[in-house]
Structure 1
Amino acid sequence: MVNLVAPLSMSQMAFRRLWAYEDEPRLNRQARQRMMDRRDYLSGLKWVWACNGEVPPDAVTVGDSAEDQKCYIGRAHHQGSVTPGQIIPHRKACCIPWGGDQHEQNIYEVLCTTGRFVPISEKSTEALLRASSAGVSEDGEPLFIGRVLHEGKFICGKVQRSHGVCYVSHEGGEVGFSEYQVFVVDSPELLDCHYWVSADDNQIPKNAFITESNESGNIYVGRAGHRASCTPGAMNPATQKCHIAWGSDEHRKSKFEYLCNCKGKFVKTQENYIPVGAIRGGYSEFGEPLFIGRVQIGNQFIVGKVQPSHKVCYVPYRGKEVAYKEFEILVLE
Structure 2
Amino acid sequence: MVKLVENDYEWIPAGEGEIPSGAFVGGEDHNGDLFIGRVDHNNDLLPGKINQEYKLCYIGWGGLEHEKSKYQVLCGKGFEWVSSSGNNVPAGAVPGGFSKGEVLYIGRAPHMGTLPIGRVQPSHGVCYISYGGNEFSYPDYEILVHKSS
TM-score, normalised with respect to structure 1 = 0.42
2:80 counterpart of 1:265: yes
Distance 1:318 1:213 in 2: 14
Structure 1 pair 254–278 and aligned structure 2 pair: CA distance change class (3 A) = same
Residue equivalent to 1:95 = none
Residue equivalent to 1:317 = 131
Mapped contact 2:15–2:56 kept (Cα < 8 A) = no
Residue equivalent to 2:27 = 212
- After superposition, give the CA deviation of every residue in 1:97-139 in whole Å (9 maximum; x if it has no partner): xxxxxxxxxxxxxxxxxxxxxxxxxxxxxxxxxxxxxxxxxxx
Matched pairs, number: 147
Residue equivalent to 2:11 = 196
The match for 1:289 among 93, 99, 103 is 103
Distance 1:289 1:279 in 2: 10
Per residue, is there more helix in 1 or in 2? 1
- Give, in angstroms, the shift of residue 219 of structure 1: 1.0
Mapped contact 2:17–2:56 kept (Cα < 8 A) = no
Mapped contact 1:216–1:237 kept (Cα < 8 A) = no
2:72 counterpart of 1:251: no
Which residue identity is paired with 1:307?
A: Q
Distance 2:64 2:18 in 1: 27
- Give, in angstroms, the shift of residue 247 of structure 1: 1.3
Distance 2:30 2:84 in 1: 28
- Give, in angstroms, the shift of residue 213 of structure 1: 4.5
* Higher relative contact order, structure no. (Cα contacts within 8 Å, ≥ 6 residues apart): 2
The match for 1:227 among 42, 58, 80 is 42
Unaligned runs of 5+ in 2: none
- Give, in angstroms, the shift of residue 297 of structure 1: 1.4
Which residue identity is paired with 1:316?
A: S
Mapped contact 1:195–1:262 kept (Cα < 8 A) = no
Distance 2:27 2:119 in 1: 17
* Root mean square deviation, CA, Å: 1.9
TM-score, normalised with respect to structure 2 = 0.90
Unaligned runs of 5+ in 1: 1-33, 47-190
3-state secondary structure, aligned to 2:88: coil
3-state secondary structure, aligned to 1:222: strand
Distance 2:20 2:106 in 1: 19
Residue equivalent to 1:242 = 57
Distance 2:29 2:62 in 1: 28
> Matched residues, percent identical?
37
